[in-house]
Amino acid sequence: MLSPARTEERAGVSILVFGDAGSAGRAAAERIQSTVHAAVADRGRAVLGLASGATPRKVYSHLVAFHREGALSFRDVVTYNVDEFYPIGPLDPKSYRSYMHQHLFSHVDLAPHHAHLLDGTVPEFFVAEHCAGFDRWIAADGGIDLQLLGIGRNGHIGFNEPSALSLADALALPTRLTELHPVTQSDAAREFVGEHRVIPRALTMGVASILAARSILMLATGTHKADVVARALNGPMTAGLPASLLQSVASRVTWMLDEPAAAGLF
Ligand code: GLP
């Protein structure tokens, strides 16, 4: 794997800091590649949890490059995405399904029926059953080998937004329909071309399913993430900052950062 400029173990969490965002993205892709190889060798399949947003784009371009070089096959891979807007059509370019086709699915040998996303088209009365089914499918596939995550400026993971829940309730959150926090809505305004156009609700994998993954890879890059990264790693575990809940499974979590995102840590 590409060597980080700095590594640190903090309360059981591995923190790898890279010179720039490109190197962090490449290292994340290499970690995914080695996880796929190990899981396929072990159990005949690998289950990946995937994320969208600006941060993982470079990761996906490296995975596509590895595939083109013959260094990575998705034939025995199953994927589950962490979130999707609701409601949204599958052909809407702002849907995370479109994003995944654009950045990964259409470029690799992943079987179409192995790529799972929460479905922004299910009728509202069926949402709860759909979300419970999503968690059951992950379990039936043997659980997630590696969950790739990004972090929102307000500390969200997937679309698990800051809340006033007790710690126990926050850790047990299932996959569900959720309301987007004002900070998330304002950050999404660029893609939706105006805050008033942002779809204010979403389906998200629950905190419980995320934390159950055998390994969690959190990727954060850029100065705008420095404050929230420091609070998630150094501050208390609280539902008010969902990424801090990763502290509860510290030994399974790796943070990959670039220098600007790590600026508040050292
Ligand atoms: C988005 C998504 C998350 C993502 C996070 C960070 O809104 N719901 O899955 O990880 O916010 O996004 P970005 O990488 O664009 O900063």
- Listed in sequence order, the residues at least 6 apart from 264 whose beta carbon sits closer than 8 Å to its beta carbon are 226, 227, 229, 230
Structure confidence by residue, pLDDT tens digits, 151-194: 999 999 999 999 999 999 999 999 999 999 999 999 998 889 88
User: 0.95 cut: is pTM over it?
Assistant: yes
pLDDT digits (tens, 9 = 90+) for 117-154: 999 999 999 999 999 999 999 999 999 999 999 999 99
Kindly tell me the sign of the dihedral angle through the C-alpha atoms of 28, 33, 36, 39: negative
Q: Is residue 84 a part of any domain in this protein?
A: yes
Q: Which residues pair with 245 in a beta bridge?
A: none
In tens, the pLDDT along 228-238 reads: 999 999 999 99
Please tell me the total count of domains within the chain.
Answer: 1
* 99 within a domain of the structure (yes/no): yes
State the closest ligand 1 atom to the C-alpha of 55, by its place in the atom list counted from 1.
14
Read off the pLDDT of each residue in 14-21 and give the average, rounded to a whole number.
97
Distance CA 113, CA 92 (A): 20
d(CA 96, CA 93): 8
CA-nearest of 104, 119, 95 to 74 is: 104
Residue 47 belongs to domain with CATH number: 3.40.50.1360
Within a domain: 264? no
Describe the crossing of helices 21-43 and 57-68 by its angle, rounded to 10 degrees. 60
Q: Which residue has a Cα nearest atom 12 of ligand 1?
A: 53
Does residue 3 belong to any structural domain of this protein?
Answer: no
Residue 1 has pLDDT above 80, yes or no: no
Contact 166, 148 (CB under 8 A): no
pLDDT at 194: 84
What DSSP letter does each residue of 90-112 carry, written as one string?
TT-TTSHHHHHHHHTGGGS---G
Instruction: Let me know if residue 1 belongs to a domain.
Output: no
Sheet of 115-116, strand order: 6-10, 13-18, 253-258, 216-220, 146-149, 46-50, 77-81, 115-116
Q: What confidence category does residue 248 fall into, taking pLDDT thresholds of 50, 70 and 90?
A: very high
Q: Which residues does the annotation mark as catalytic? A: 83, 154, 156, 161
pLDDT in tens, 92-104: 999 999 999 999 9
Ligand 1: which residue has its CA nearest to atom 11? 152
Length reported for the chain: 266
Mean pLDDT, rounded, for 82-107: 97
Measured from the CA of 225, which atom of ligand 1 is nearest?
Answer: 16
Omega before residue 87 within 30° of 0, cis: yes
Residue 112 sits in which domain range?
Answer: 8-258
Ligand 1: lining residues by beta carbon, under 6 Å: 51-55, 82-83, 150, 152, 158-159, 184
Measured on CA atoms in the order 171, 200, 84, 105, is the torsion positive or negative? negative
Centre of ligand 1 to C-alpha 159, Å, is 8
- Summarize the confidence of residues 249-263 as an average pLDDT: 97
The rounded Å distance from CA 187 to ligand 1 centre is 9
Q: Would residue 265 count as lying in a domain?
A: no
Q: N- to C-terminal Cα distance for the chain?
A: 23
